[in-house]
Amino acid sequence: MPDRNISKSVIKRLTVYLRILDQLIRRDVEMISSKELSNETGFTAEQIRKDLAYFGAFGTRGAGYNTVFLREKLMKIIGLDRKTDIIVVGAGNLGTALTRYNSIKNPYVSIAAVFDKDPRLVGNRIFDVEVLPIDQAPGLIKEKGIKVCLITVPAQEAQEVADMVADSGVKAILNFAPVKLTVPEDVHVHNADLTIELQSLIYYTSAEEERKIRLQQEMKDGKPAKTFPIEDE
């Protein structure tokens, strides 16, 4: 059973370490220190040592970490030492893209099923996965013991889907709908809001000083800032 005292941020950093270790092993790097791992990841050496210490002692003082050994241990800690069956609810453009990507590029998961309520999408195939009616989801979740679900439905439908899959036994949800979900305490939700990520990225496309000057000038002139209409979700 996962230790609920370990924060989400620690687990996310472990996946970053794993990705870096994959790259190091491909480059035939056998040993790496926490300082060198810090240079590769952007996290401090102290933070890396602290994160790994939650789960055991994996390094050798003065020598660092064996990359193959540490990768093996991280795989087991995260649960990637075996393939995990997951489902996708929402077979629109995003759901289809995620299904395609994970079917081809993600060796750690297997798409057990894709669901949608739109009769125009039900029956379609995404590679070898058939889109099934949403009302079949609870039965399949229980039958196959599915614990992970990707939600790619519109915001107004996401909570209903979350309730359904949680009631059926799902314990981890990756939510792509732009809405906060309410779930039982034993269900983990990670939100992946692509719109927010893109909007925050735009911040870096113009100089900070330039923005400050523009805002100050608008306030001085008494002009309201330019706004855009709010789009319906």
231 in a domain, yes or no?
no
181 in a domain, yes or no?
yes
Q: Give per-residue pLDDT as tens, 166-203.
A: 999 999 999 999 999 999 999 999 999 888 888 888 87
- Residue 111: beta bridge partners? 86
Helix, strand, or coil (residue 129): strand
- Residue 86: beta bridge partners? 111, 148
- Cα–Cα distance between 50 and 66 in angstroms, integer? 17
SS3 per residue for 42-69 = CCCHHHHHHHHHCCCCCEECCCEEEHHH
Q: Give per-residue pLDDT as tens, 2-36.
A: 555 788 899 999 999 999 999 999 999 999 999 99
Q: Measure Cα distances from 217 to 7, 61, 212 in Å.
A: 43, 57, 9
Last residue of a domain, one of 24, 44, 78: 78
pTM, two decimal places: 0.77
Tell me: do 72 and 96 sit in the same domain. no
Last residue of a domain, one of 25, 60, 78: 78
114 in a domain, yes or no?
yes
232 in a domain, yes or no?
no
